[in-house]
Amino acid sequence: MPALWRRAVAEALGTGLLVAIVVGSGIAAQSLSPDDVGLQLLQNSLATTLGLAVLIAVLGPVSGAHFNPVVTLVDWFTGRRDGTGVRAADGGVYVAVQIAGAIGGALLANAMFGIPAGLATTVRATGPHLLAEVVATAGLVLVILGLLRSGRAAWIPASVGAYIGAAYWFTSSTSFANPAVTIGRVFSDTFAGIAPQSVLPFLAAQVVGGVLAVLLATALYPRTDA
């Protein structure tokens, strides 16, 4: 296993680039298609789908390519007994650098497009949005656990990218499904932004989705010794 500092760099870099892709492509979409929100979402989701798959494929061998505190928490919880998951202390480092990287990624995207610094003003925490975040996060984590437990880990980069791309469209929240990305997107008052007052409800919904995914994975893909 690579040294912790290498894994931390990979998690910070991957999460930061993911947010830069999400926010940057959202800014570009607004500029290219100012009068067509559907086309903006298509452009944003396509860039995210491709970028996320590439980041997982490139950085996965270093850190596991979590880029998501819920994924890190689930990895620790499901592997804590047999030592296959991230250790608790290492997981805390992962989460810290994921959040820092996400904020940095949003600021980088703003800078690349000349967007002034500021907090997002788009309020998203409605009942349907929060339900969507539970569904989006549960689906994401279930994809990862299902592929890992069925011996198809090589499919994860493409499958996670494809799932997130699809979830942009079938969830009303456009599938944040990631606490670090949610926090990062606060720092860009653009197409992809989320107002600070919406963050805590989103984080709670994402954690619920992660718990639901673990329960589903346990039922659908029991471990051989269970």
CATH of the domain at 101: 1.20.1080.10
Kindly state the helix (H) or strand (E) to which residue 214 belongs, with its residue range: helix 199-220
Residue 190, phi then psi, degrees to nearest 5: -135, -170
In this structure, is residue 214 part of a structural domain?
A: yes
In this structure, is residue 170 part of a structural domain?
A: yes
In this structure, is residue 225 part of a structural domain?
A: no
Residues 161-193 have pLDDT tens digits of: 999 999 999 999 999 999 999 999 999 999 999
Residues 71, 77, 80, CA angle at the centre, nearest 5°? 125
Residues 131-169 have pLDDT tens digits of: 999 999 999 999 999 999 999 999 999 999 999 999 999
pLDDT value of position 224: 57
What is the number of structural domains in the chain?
1
Return d(Cα 20, Cα 70) in angstroms, integer. Answer: 20
Give 161's contacts (C-beta < 8 A, 6+ positions apart). 48, 49, 50, 51, 52, 53, 56
Percent of the chain exceeding pLDDT 70 equals 99
Q: Tell me the CA distances in angstroms from 3 to 92, 99, 153, 177, 191, one per residue in order.
A: 15, 20, 22, 28, 37
Q: Which of 26-35, 80-89, 109-118 has the lowest mean pLDDT?
A: 80-89
Largest CA distance in the chain: 56
In this structure, is residue 153 part of a structural domain?
A: yes
Total-model pTM = 0.95
In this structure, is residue 34 part of a structural domain?
A: yes
In this structure, is residue 226 part of a structural domain?
A: no
In this structure, is residue 22 part of a structural domain?
A: yes
31: domain range? 4-220
Under the banding of pLDDT at 50, 70 and 90, the label for residue 226 is: very low
Under the banding of pLDDT at 50, 70 and 90, the label for residue 122 is: very high
In this structure, is residue 106 part of a structural domain?
A: yes
Residues 177, 9, 112, CA angle at the centre, nearest 5°? 70
